[in-house]
């Protein structure tokens, strides 16, 4: 398989200025063997995640097609809108809690989803990738709880857990 030509992405958005990273893998390919997300970033944005607040000011960094029908909160409006989430519930914790718990990596100040978007388009940071994939795998406990407590496909059963799983690229509509 031919190696892709290395590409540098330059980031200057509301949260991150003067940052750059290298794309070393083809988009959506060559994932770690333990990382098998059900949903792409585009699919997640289309379904409705993070109250539509996430990624509104960094569209230039990612493929435009990801945002064509994305459920995003109106720019300039404070907070987020849980109605934009697929399950219509708030399943997010604040950025201050993420920071307090040590979940934020300096290169990805917006958290796991930013890491995933960058990983998906081909950025690799081996140690950080390993840490984030470990965190992703830990979300599986919510799948077990849905399987043990809900009828298959009952989207009204535990919508908060289902929405949280969507935030982590697990397609909880199928559980």
pLDDT the model gives residue 70: 92
Reported as half-sphere exposure (CB side, CA atoms, 13 A), residue 61 has a value of 30
From residue 89, give the alpha-carbon distance in Å to each of 49, 93, 154. 10, 12, 15
**pLDDT given for residue 102 in this prediction:** 79
92 falls within a domain:
yes
What pLDDT was estimated at residue 11?
Answer: 95
Query: 75 in a domain, yes or no?
Result: yes
Assigned domain for 12 exists: yes
User: Which residues of the chain are under the pLDDT cut of 50?
Assistant: none
Task: Tell me the Cα Rg of the chain.
Answer: 16
Check residue 79 and give its pLDDT: 74
The structural domain count of the chain equals 1
Is there a contact between 114 and 103 (Cβ–Cβ < 8 Å)? no
How far apart (Å, rounded) are the C-alpha atoms in residues 59 and 71?
Answer: 13
Residues contacting 19, CB < 8 A, separation 6+: 10, 11, 12, 107
85-119 pLDDT, tens digit per residue, is 999 998 877 778 878 887 788 899 989 999 999 99
Q: With respect to residue 1, please indicate whether it lies within any of the assigned structural domains.
A: no
Range of the domain at 129: 7-174
Per-residue pLDDT, 4:
62
CA distance 142 to 41: 20
In a domain, 134, yes or no: yes
Q: Determine, yes or no, domain membership for 112.
A: yes
Which residues, in sequence order, are bridge partners of residue 11? Answer: 19
In a domain? residue 18: yes
Identify which of 60, 77, 45, 65 has the alpha carbon closest to the alpha carbon of residue 13: 60
Residue 2 lies in a domain: no
Q: Provide the b/e sequence for 32-70 (b: ≥16 CB within 10 Å).
A: eeebebebbbbebbbbbbbbbbbbbebeebbeeebeeeb
């Amino acid at each position: 398989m031919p190696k892709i030509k290395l590409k540098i992405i330059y980031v200057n958005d509301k949260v991150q200025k003067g940052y750059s990273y290298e794309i070393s893998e083809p988009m959506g390919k060559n994932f770690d063997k333990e990382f098998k997300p059900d949903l792409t970033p585009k699919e997640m944005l289309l379904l409705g995640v993070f109250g539509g607040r996430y990624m509104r000011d960094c569209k230039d960094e990612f493929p435009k097609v990801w945002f064509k029908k994305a459920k995003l909160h109106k720019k300039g409006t404070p907070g987020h809108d849980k109605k934009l989430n697929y399950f219509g519930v708030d399943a997010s914790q604040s950025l201050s809690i993420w920071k307090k718990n040590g979940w934020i990596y300096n290169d990805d100040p917006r958290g796991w989803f930013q890491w995933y978007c960058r990983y998906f388009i081909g950025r690799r940071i081996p140690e950080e990738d390993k840490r984030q994939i470990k965190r992703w795998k830990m979300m599986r406990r919510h799948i077990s709880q849905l399987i043990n407590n809900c009828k298959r496909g009952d989207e009204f059963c535990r919508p908060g857990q289902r929405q949280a799983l969507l935030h982590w690229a697990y397609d909880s509509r199928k559980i």
